[in-house]
Amino acid sequence: MNIQIASSSKPSPRHAVHELREQLRGIDPQLLVFFASSRYAPAELARDMKDAFPRAAVMGCTTAGEIISGKMLNHSVVGMAMDGRIVQDASIEVLHGLKEDCSGAVTRAFSNFERHFGTPMRDLDFSQYVGLVLADGLSGMEERLMDRLGDLTNLRFVGGSAGDDLAFKQTHVFAEGKAYADAAILCVLKPAVAFDVLKTQSFRILDKHLVATKVDEANRQVFEFNHEPAVQAYAKAVGIEPSKIAEAFMSFPLGLIVDGEPYVRSPQRQDGSSLRCYCNVVEGAELSLLESSDIVHDTQQALAQKQKDFGPISGIINFHCILRTLALQKSGQLDAYGKLFERIPTIGFSTYGEQYLGHVNQTSTMLLLGEPGPEQ
């Protein structure tokens, strides 16, 4: 197998990593990606993972729940090993001090990528290379990070924001044996197989529109929609009393509609007469009210269509919003969602935000890897 997956719920980093290493004994990975509960000591886990796979490029992050083929897990570690017939080349960079100097960190990382690949990042062929991004999920810097990436390259970066099992205290990202907070990990891959990105969310677009007329973009706060207090305007659109809006946030988020496709901006909480969101909202943006639909059915349909268009899939890395996980839990569909991926080697995690062409919420962004050709 050119892609292998593994998981462990052993409580100590050393024992969990040993179990992963045993499950992955039959592969010499070029790239090893892992996602782990925040219950593990981050520095120890990062070191042990690199020690177990010294020849591989190794990256990962903490989670709010883990995904592996057929299962939705908690308090575990999941990993995917990809050999040279899947990943021809991979380079990993750490963006230190995300809050202080996000732009400079991206520029420095890109200089290192350019030395590694021998080509300016702007000139890398997006049909031959793809990026992975894992960000501190409590930094509030994902929009600036993704905007800067988009300014400097045409490569697609897909990924998620690290979690900490809903403690909301500190998240970590991992690279090459070390753990980092207030940081992001970028990985530029040159796959040896076909690849694609699937973005899927489960909402109907309603014919109700809210224009953000007064915002604090940096703090993801909307003061006014349609020149009315944000809470009042949102409640009116949903058709409920302002005192009950918190009950509607997950089922009726907002979406920026691009080419008929929603890019979800989820309300997080009421703050006086304003709304705090999980994504920033640009002043003047017109958002549509969305209504939740069946996550399992919609994901099944999206996967089936992608397989029809793309062809056989040998591996999936799934960055899956924690709000989707909570919705699945509430509806009793966690097992059904996990089983959608039981026939395809898959790992993933419940995120504090998803990255693809920007920063979104209540979405799954997935990197899909095709099958290698016959061995020469």
pLDDT in tens, 169-209: 999 999 999 999 999 999 999 999 999 999 999 999 999 99
pLDDT-based confidence at 375, cuts 50/70/90? low
Q: What's residue 1's pLDDT?
A: 77
What is the C-alpha to C-alpha distance for residues 26 and 223, in angstroms, rounded to an integer? 56
d(CA 192, CA 371): 9
d(CA 16, CA 275) in angstroms, rounded, equals 41
Residue 348 structure tokens: 């993933």
Predicted local distance difference test score (pLDDT) of residue 260: 87
Which token pair is 110? 């890109």
Q: Across residues 42-69, what is the average pLDDT?
A: 97
pLDDT band for position 218 (50/70/90)?
Answer: confident
The pLDDT value recorded for residue 46 is 98
Instruction: Give 1 or 27, the one with higher predicted confidence.
Output: 27
**pLDDT, position 270:** 92
Q: What is the pLDDT of residues 335-365, one digit of tens each?
A: 999 999 999 999 999 999 999 989 999 999 9
Say yes or no to pLDDT of 374 above 80.
no
One-letter-per-residue 3-state SS of 310-360? HCCEEEEEEEEEHHHHHHHHHHCCHHHHHHCCCCCCEEEEEECCEEECCEE
Please determine, for residue 6, whether its predicted confidence score (pLDDT) is greater than 90.
yes
Judge whether residue 376 has pLDDT over 50.
no
How far apart (Å, rounded) are the C-alpha atoms in residues 362 and 238? 18
Q: What percent of the chain has pLDDT over 90?
A: 94
CB-neighbour burial class of residue 287 (10 A; exposed 0-12, middle 13-18, buried 19+):
buried
- On average, the pLDDT of the chain sits at 95
pLDDT tens for each residue of 81-136: 999 999 999 999 999 999 999 999 999 999 999 999 999 999 999 999 999 999 99
The Cα 208–Cα 55 span in angstroms is 53
Query: Using 50, 70 and 90 to split pLDDT, how confident is the model at 161?
Result: very high
Half-sphere exposure of 225 (CA within 13 A, CB side): 25
- What is the arithmetic mean of pLDDT over 303-320? 95
